[in-house]
Amino acid sequence: MKIARVTGKESDHLTSVQESIKNRNKRKSILFYLRKDWQLYILLLVPVAFAFIFKYGSMFGLVVAFKDYKILKGFSGSEWVGLSVFRKVFQMRDFGKSIRNTLLLNSLTLIIGFPLPILLALLLNEVKNKYFKKLTQTLLYLPHFLSFVIIGAIAYQIFGLANGVINNLLEATGHVRIPFLQEDNHWLITYVLINVWQTMGWGTIIYLAAITSVNPELYEAATVDGAGRLAKCIHVTLPCIKSTIVILLIMNLGKIMGGSFESVNALMNVATTEYTNTIPVLVYRLGLSNGKYSEATAIGLFQSVIGLLLVIGSDFFAKKLGEEGIL
Give the pLDDT score at 269: 84
Q: What value, to the nearest 5°, has the Cα angle with vertex 203 and ends 142 and 323?
A: 170
SS3 state of residue 269: coil
CATH number of 83-320: 1.10.3720.10
DSSP state, 6? P
Tens-digit pLDDT profile for residues 110-124: 999 999 999 999 999
Arithmetic mean of pLDDT, 40-55: 87
Q: How far apart are CA 124 and CA 253, in angstroms?
A: 26
Q: Is the pTM of this model over 0.85?
A: no
Residue 286: closest CA among 96, 94, 149, 104: 94
Q: How many Cα neighbours within 13 Å face the side chain of 103? A: 10
Q: How confident is the model at residue 53 (pLDDT cuts 50, 70, 90)?
A: confident
Could you tell me how far CA 210 lies from the centroid of its own chain?
18
Lowest mean pLDDT among 96-110, 237-251, 260-274, 286-300: 260-274
